[in-house]
Structure formats: C-alpha cells, structure tokens
Amino acid sequence: MKALLFICHGTRLKKGRIEAEEFVKLCMSQVDVSIKEICFLELAEPSITKGFEACIQKGATSISVIPVFLLSANHIKTDIPKKLHHLKNQYPGIEVIYGRPFGVHEAIPHLLWEKIMNSAVNLKKNTHILLVGRGSSDQDVKRDLEKIASNVQKHYGIPSIQACFLTGSEPSVEEALWSNRYLHDQIIIVPYLLFSGLLINGMKLTINRYQQLSETSVTLCETLGYHPILKEVLLTRINETLETKRYAFS
C-alpha cells in the first residue's frame, strides 16, 4: 500500500508550523493516496522517524517522501537522505521513494512578481529588488536562487534584481542593502521563504537598522505562503514522485 510522507523544515514558532501544516493538508486533499502523513526535519514534531513509522502502522509498504523545501541544499542532499537510509535499514521490507523540492520551476517567477505587485509601492526606474533566500554552503542553492532571480527579470523586464542570503552564502542581506545605498531610491525585499519564522524577524531588524541610517525606501514583501502557484508546483512534485522510482532508495 502506498503512502505519502511530507517533510517540512520546522520552526519553533507555532504560527509558522501551523502555516506549513495547513498548506500541506490543502495539497494532500487533492491526492488519491489513502495514507498521508506530515512530519518535520527539526524544531517541531512529529519527527521524520515518527512520521515514517506512522505510515507503516497504517499499512504502508511503499512510502513516497515529499520534501516541502524550496531549494536543494544540504537538508535535501544530506540530512534527509541520511535519516531515510537509517529508516530503510530498520524496515528493509518498505520501499522508499524520495521526491524533489520545488526547485527552479517555471511558475515561480509569476508568484514572485505578484508578491512585488502586492507590496503597495509603485516601482520606479531605479528600483532595486532583493530576492532573499535562506542560504547554504551548498553552491547549488546560490546558483538556483540566482537563476530564479534571472527568470523574474526576463519575464517582467525588471531593470535591477539581485539574489542575496540570510546565512551561509554571499552576499548577505545587509551587504546587499549597504552596497546599493547610493544607487537606488527604492529597494524591495522579497523573502524566498515558505512561511513565517525567526528568519523574518531577523530580517525586519536588519531593515530597521538600515533605515535609521539611510534615506533609501525599503519595502519588505510577504513570504510565499499558501499561494495557489506553490500548491500546483507541490502537486507536480507529488505526482512525479508517485509515478517514478528514479529517486528510490535501494
């Protein structure tokens, strides 16, 4: 019997955890698989182990694992596979198929443009947009976010857009803000994050410090959240994982 196990990142903030669960449940309701569980990599419960074992207790013999993550960083390449290998060894009779994160998807630029348009500011000729990712030491994350920024620019003719990061990669948000201090009258920050969390709070503090010393207008857009485009991207990843064994653990 097939099962779907959704792995979210996790956060200490209850609001962020609830947002993640509600978003995944919305997608789960549109998938015809009888066993569906949600778990978290860290900072929240249930853990991956508990989610995996819940699938087995309900009769699963094949578990398709869906990482609800934006980009392929170390969590996707190392942390989750390590945990799944351990569980596979514990339950050798269970087939485990590992799906893909959202990644560089052609629909994402339209979502980001909508966030920019909903920021309640009028774009100027010298507006600069910062697309802010979580960041990672994995260079694929930097490459992918820069590719997404480039796709937004191509689709909508934005004159100036830059990928930057909260941690682990350069440039940081702070570096990007100060390096553009005298170049632009307006900066719009688009967080490339799924849900609310401590990272957003830290970003707000950075913006407040910057605006105390600069006359440049800075606007912070909302996180990606429950958007229908993200739902469709996740449903695409679910269906491709159910239909293929390219990512199966042997």
Looking at the fold, whether 210 and 121 belong to one and the same domain comes out as yes
Looking at the fold, whether 80 and 176 belong to one and the same domain comes out as no
Residue 25 sits in a domain whose CATH number is 3.40.50.1400
Looking at the fold, whether 134 and 81 belong to one and the same domain comes out as no
pLDDT given for residue 105 in this prediction? 94
pLDDT given for residue 66 in this prediction? 97
The domain tally of the chain equals: 2
Looking at the fold, whether 173 and 242 belong to one and the same domain comes out as no
pLDDT given for residue 185 in this prediction? 86
Cis peptide before 46 (omega within 30 of 0): yes
CA dihedral 232, 237, 239, 240 (to 10 degrees): 140
Looking at the fold, whether 195 and 237 belong to one and the same domain comes out as no
Please report the DSSP string for 46-70 in residue order. SBHHHHHHHHHHTT-SEEEEEE--S
Rg over alpha carbons for the chain, rounded to the nearest Å, is 19
- CA distances 181 to 10, 48, 174, Å, are 34, 44, 11
pLDDT digits (tens, 9 = 90+) for 139-156: 899 999 999 999 999 999
Residues of the chain with pLDDT under 70: 197, 245-250
pLDDT given for residue 246 in this prediction? 57
Looking at the fold, whether 94 and 130 belong to one and the same domain comes out as no
Looking at the fold, whether 55 and 143 belong to one and the same domain comes out as no
Q: What range does the domain containing 17 cover?
A: 2-102+227-249
Looking at the fold, whether 215 and 113 belong to one and the same domain comes out as yes
Q: Which two tokens stand for residue 181?
A: 């201090």
Q: How far is CA 45 from the centre of its chain?
A: 19
Looking at the fold, whether 94 and 124 belong to one and the same domain comes out as no
150-156 contacts at long range (C-beta below 8 A, 24 or more positions apart): 151/104, 151/106, 151/108, 151/109, 152/109, 152/112, 152/113, 154/109, 155/109, 155/110, 155/113, 156/109, 156/113
Looking at the fold, whether 165 and 240 belong to one and the same domain comes out as no
Q: Which two tokens stand for residue 37?
A: 């569980």
pLDDT given for residue 183 in this prediction? 87
* Angle, CA of 184, 223 and 79, to the nearest 5°: 115
pLDDT given for residue 250 in this prediction? 57
Looking at the fold, whether 131 and 73 belong to one and the same domain comes out as no
Looking at the fold, whether 195 and 117 belong to one and the same domain comes out as yes
Asked if 164 contacts 173 with a C-beta cutoff of 8 angstroms, the reply is yes
Q: Which two tokens stand for residue 119?
A: 């920021």
Q: Which stretches does DSSP call E strand in 103-160?
A: 127-133
pLDDT given for residue 210 in this prediction? 86
